[in-house]
Amino acid sequence: MPSASASAGALLRHVRTGRARSRADLVALTGASRNTVSARVDQLIAANLLEEGGRGWSTGGRPPTLLQFNARAGCVLAVDLGVTSVDVAVTDLSARVLATAGHPIDIAVGPEPVLAEVDRLGRLVLEEAGLDTSAVCAVGVGVPGPVEFSTGRPSHPPIMPGWHDHPIPEAFARYDCPVVVDNDVNVMALGEMGVAGSDQDVLVVKVGTGIGCGVVVEGRVYRGAQGSAGDIGHIYVAPPDGRTVICRCGQENCLEAIAGGGALLRDARAAGLPVRTTRDVVELAAQGDGPTLELVRGAGRTIGTVLAALVNFFNPHRIVMTGGVARAGAPLLAGIREAVYGRSMPLAARALEITVSDAPDLSGRLGAALMAIEEFLGEDAVHRALTR
Ligand SMILES: [Zn+2]
């Protein structure tokens, strides 16, 4: 394989991300020879992944022919499986949604009925977008539990009974293309990063029933040795009131047992607030109910003490909060900021941004699409496709 800096996949990425708009840009960016760049661009044009169109500004001599990425060269299926919902979208190769469908579902009914429904929704969105099965270049799937990334099999998922070791990729065999499966937090992290191109270091923290974190290093999801990087929900914290809480994992005083959505609901009920679900707690906070606001803010402070340690360790550009509890917005952020800015080292915190996701509902689908696109257009995959 050619050196990564000027491989066909690398050249394609430069055009996809807008860093290069002509052969001359690619020569300048990669330092490769004009002949090498031209030959690989011709291959990419023959493969329908690049198109020529229009003329750029000349800096002397003949103006260059502009190159653009052909995002319609294929499509990907994006599957966002939640604990209580399923959403399937078909997007083009720039992650633009062409059609989407979804509805509530209980993931605990098991893999066969859920994946049969995913299959039905997949056919539906392809039909709606006027696309054929053969147009699907890759499938990306996010699931609410740990996944062995190399095989796409869930690994002892606590809230997905019956799914342990289930070969999820086999459910998409009829598309005859790569299938990538990852946990929902990593997928959402990709979705928050948006279309390939950002090279920032970001923590995407999902606060739902549990708490998880997608670790993005230089624009790419970091998964760690076994794929469990970012599982911050089970980091030990000292509870603010000195009590001992047993976590669902069996350990004492895990972060999510003190400050996750389930913990918020438990504490709100114990305080006599009129709530049945975590969503009720979030809505009560949104209405400005004093005691609920203080509970949410307290959860934010506890999450913030863990994030402060992560900021010192990782020095991210940004932290993005997402998930059901993040919808509480201001009071949660206030607690988190108080702890993070109070406890992080000044250099690490100086330019740190902490925000709530703009589109938590869409980031799962967008991330699953981006994951599939990266699989299809990754440097190795493009090299293999062009030399086949
Ligand atoms: Zn735990």
Label each residue of the chain as H, E or C: CCCHHHCHHHHHHHHHCCCCCEHHHHHHHHCCCHHHHHHHHHHHHHCCCEEEEEECCCCCCCCCEEEEECCCCCEEEEEEECCCEEEEEEEECCCCEEEEEEEECCHHHCHHHHHHHHHHHHHHHHHHCCCCHHHEEEEEEEECCCEECCCCEECCCCCCCCCCCCCHHHHHHHHCCCEEEEEHHHHHHHHHHCCECECCCEEEEEECCCEEEEEEECCEECCCCCCCCCCHHHCECCCCCCCCCECCCCCECEHHHHHCHHHHHHHHHHCCCCCCCHHHHHHHHHCCCHHHHHHHHHHHHHHHHHHHHHHHHHCCCEEEEECHHHHHCHHHHHHHHHHHHHHCCHHHHCCCEEEECCCHHHHHHHHHHHHHHHHHHCHHHHHHHHHC
In a domain, 184, yes or no: yes
Cα-to-centroid distance, 249 and ligand 1 (Å): 4
Q: Are residues 332 and 213 in the same domain?
A: yes
Cα-to-centroid distance, 100 and ligand 1 (Å): 35
Q: Are residues 246 and 278 in the same domain?
A: yes
The span from the CA of 187 to the CA of 323, in Å, is: 12
Predicted pLDDT of residue 1:
41
Q: Which residues are near ligand 1, the ion (C-beta closer than 5 Å)?
A: 234, 247, 249, 251, 254
pTM: 0.85
Cα-to-centroid distance, 253 and ligand 1 (Å): 7
The span from the CA of 375 to the CA of 370, in Å, is: 8
Q: Are residues 340 and 210 in the same domain?
A: yes
Exposed, middle or buried: residue 170 (CB in 10 Å: 0-12, 13-18, 19+)? exposed
Domain count, the chain: 3
Cα-to-centroid distance, 250 and ligand 1 (Å): 6
Q: Are residues 235 and 250 in the same domain?
A: yes
Check which CATH number belongs to the domain holding 243 and give it: 3.30.420.40
Cα-to-centroid distance, 378 and ligand 1 (Å): 35
In a domain, 197, yes or no: no
Predicted pLDDT of residue 344:
87
What is the pLDDT confidence band of residue 57, given thresholds at 50, 70 and 90?
A: low
Domain boundary among 25, 41, 69: 69
Q: Give mean pLDDT, residues 90-106.
A: 95
In a domain, 247, yes or no: yes
Average pLDDT along the chain? 91
Q: Are residues 31 and 19 in the same domain?
A: yes
Predicted pLDDT of residue 58:
64
- What does the pLDDT look like over 335-387, one tens digit per residue? 999 999 998 888 888 889 999 998 878 889 999 999 999 999 988 889 888 88
Q: Are residues 79 and 179 in the same domain?
A: yes
Cα-to-centroid distance, 302 and ligand 1 (Å): 15
Q: Are residues 62 and 149 in the same domain?
A: no
Check which CATH number belongs to the domain holding 35 and give it: 1.10.10.10
Q: Are residues 314 and 348 in the same domain?
A: yes
In a domain, 388, yes or no: no
Q: Are residues 65 and 77 in the same domain?
A: no
Cα-to-centroid distance, 229 and ligand 1 (Å): 15
Tokens of 218: 């230089």
Cα-to-centroid distance, 231 and ligand 1 (Å): 10
Cα-to-centroid distance, 159 and ligand 1 (Å): 13
- What does the pLDDT look like over 203-244, one tens digit per residue? 999 998 889 999 999 888 999 887 889 989 999 999 888 889
Predicted pLDDT of residue 196:
53
Q: Are residues 167 and 144 in the same domain?
A: yes
Predicted pLDDT of residue 113:
97
Cα-to-centroid distance, 5 and ligand 1 (Å): 42
- What does the pLDDT look like over 137-165, one tens digit per residue? 999 999 988 898 899 999 988 788 899 99
Cα-to-centroid distance, 56 and ligand 1 (Å): 57
The span from the CA of 8 to the CA of 376, in Å, is: 13
Cα-to-centroid distance, 251 and ligand 1 (Å): 5
Cα-to-centroid distance, 23 and ligand 1 (Å): 53
Domain that holds residue 65: 4-69
Q: Give mean pLDDT, residues 42-71.
A: 84
Q: How far out from the chain centre does Cα 88 lie?
A: 15
The C-alpha angle with vertex 193 and arms to 305 and 203, in degrees rounded to 5, equals 15
Q: Give mean pLDDT, residues 193-201.
A: 73
**Contact partners, residue 342, CB within 8 Å, separation at least 6:** 308
Q: Are residues 176 and 96 in the same domain?
A: yes
Cα-to-centroid distance, 30 and ligand 1 (Å): 47
Cα-to-centroid distance, 233 and ligand 1 (Å): 6
Q: What percent of the chain has pLDDT over 90?
A: 71
In a domain, 385, yes or no: no
Cα-to-centroid distance, 236 and ligand 1 (Å): 8
Cα-to-centroid distance, 206 and ligand 1 (Å): 15
- What does the pLDDT look like over 175-187, one tens digit per residue? 999 999 999 999 9
In a domain, 179, yes or no: yes
Predicted pLDDT of residue 49:
94
Amino acid at 135: A
Q: How far out from the chain centre does Cα 165 lie?
A: 22
What is the pLDDT confidence band of residue 3, given thresholds at 50, 70 and 90?
A: very low
In a domain, 20, yes or no: yes
- What does the pLDDT look like over 128-142, one tens digit per residue? 999 999 999 999 999
**Contact partners, residue 61, CB within 8 Å, separation at least 6:** none
The span from the CA of 176 to the CA of 195, in Å, is: 25
Cα-to-centroid distance, 98 and ligand 1 (Å): 40
Predicted pLDDT of residue 65:
85
Q: Is the dihedral of CA 298, 299, 300, 303 positive or negative?
A: positive
Q: Are residues 234 and 372 in the same domain?
A: no
Cα-to-centroid distance, 187 and ligand 1 (Å): 22
What is the pLDDT confidence band of residue 195, given thresholds at 50, 70 and 90?
A: low
Cα-to-centroid distance, 235 and ligand 1 (Å): 7
Q: What are phi and psi of 60, to 5 degrees?
A: 110, 130
Cα-to-centroid distance, 143 and ligand 1 (Å): 19
In a domain, 29, yes or no: yes
Q: What percent of the chain has pLDDT over 70?
A: 96
Cα-to-centroid distance, 295 and ligand 1 (Å): 20
Checking if the pLDDT of 2 tops 60, the result is: no
